[in-house]
Amino acid sequence: MKDAAKLFVYFFAVVIGGALLAPPLFWSARYVSPFFAKFDFESFFHRALLICAVAFLWPLLRSLRLHSFRDLQLDRNRHAVRDVVAGNLLASLPLLVCSFLLIATRIFILKTAMPWSSLVGVL
């Protein structure tokens, strides 16, 4: 079986396992303590998905023949600082531009007036 098919089986098993685990988890938590009554079923379903994802991870790694971290054959990133800075810039620049445009076009309005001149002094 190819690795992509194994990954698909893993995702399928996580979703089916989470769907099967969530109702008993939901009912037993409500039976144990009334504290859990404030949480809806969706919260328990998400927790069940996480539990199944962790539980099925070990069989997936074994089927992919990954017995240790060295089996991934990863090398140390020589440009880690540069990559982190570039990633932060690539993530924050579009966010800042879009937020500036939304405020400038008055699609969004700030609740309180911001002293923009004092912001220049901080930078």
Domain spans of the chain, in order of start: 3-70
CA distance 123 to 118: 9
Q: What is the pLDDT of residues 4-40, one digit of tens each?
A: 999 999 999 999 999 999 999 999 998 998 888 889 9
Cβ contacts of 44 within 8 Å, gap of 6 or more:
22, 25, 26, 29
DSSP 8-state assignment for residue 53: H
Mean pLDDT across 48-73: 91
pLDDT-based confidence at residue 101 (cuts at 50, 70, 90):
very high
